[in-house]
Amino acid sequence: MKTMDEETQIGHLVARLAAQYPGLPSATVSEVVHELYGRFHGARVREFVPLFVERRARTALDELNVSYVPEERHAEPAAV
């Protein structure tokens, strides 16, 4: 059973991760965290759920946060 404290921790986690991943929309961060949090719905031992969610969310967000540098166009050689 979820507690208010646990839900508060998850809310703080979303805010913290959104600040640490400014390249991602905060809605995406929230979606990832809440989707992962939902996977622990039936967990009987709740004490470490926020920690597990944070670790898995960081892994998922790292994968989403890959920066792509556009390939620079090469200058065409001057006509001789």
pLDDT tens string 21-60: 999 999 999 999 999 999 999 999 999 999 999 999 999 9
Hey, what domains does the chain have and what are their CATH numbers? 4-64 (1.10.8)
Q: Supply the pTM of this predicted model.
A: 0.77
DSSP H helix total and E strand total for the chain: 3, 0
**pLDDT computed for residue 75 by the predictor:** 53
3-state helix, strand, coil in the chain (%, to 5): 60, 0, 40
**pLDDT computed for residue 24 by the predictor:** 92
**pLDDT computed for residue 65 by the predictor:** 85
Unique residue bearing structure tokens 């996977």: 39
